[in-house]
Structure 1
């Protein structure tokens, strides 16, 4: 059964993104740090949703593909997705992204 977690995602440099998502009733903060193979225009999406099957999948490294424009859709391993819609503007022109990411639990060691 798919679960969802609210969060945010933003660029940290021309080829990297970082997102934080709050999982479970105690809102554990899982962070994904993504490095892309291409340059991505700067953006900050304050209302993103992570869809995942098991919390245990939010560990280690993952491959990343997706696109960003008026909407954001990123696909990760284990059938996970990060989605969201920009309230103003977004990224124009839209662009694709591919690369890798690493999950870790906020304020703790990498998992």
Structure 2
């Protein structure tokens, strides 16, 4: 981690992502603003822009974090796909969706991925 991404309270990018996920859970996407995020974390209004170009880029980063977390909880072994394993997978998928709404909506909702300004692969 470079010195530019570290602050007195640790990793600011990580703090911003965590606080943004909390705001999404509490108030939904409409309630999340870069200004409110900065206030929640206790940094200047411009600090989040050193890590995220805009709210869209922040939301994409939150969705990316959601996919990381999702992969960690999955236990699907395609080579051993019994009915019991499939049922376990479905339970894990639903548990993740219900326990991580702030990530799930960004990961699988169509609005974020249909937004203009997303980088082309």
TM-score higher than 0.5:
no
User: How does the TM-score come out when normalised to structure 1?
Assistant: 0.27
Q: Is the strand fraction higher in 1 or 2? A: 1
User: How does the TM-score come out when normalised to structure 2?
Assistant: 0.25
Higher relative contact order (CA 8 A, sep 6+): 1
State the structure with more CA Rg. 2
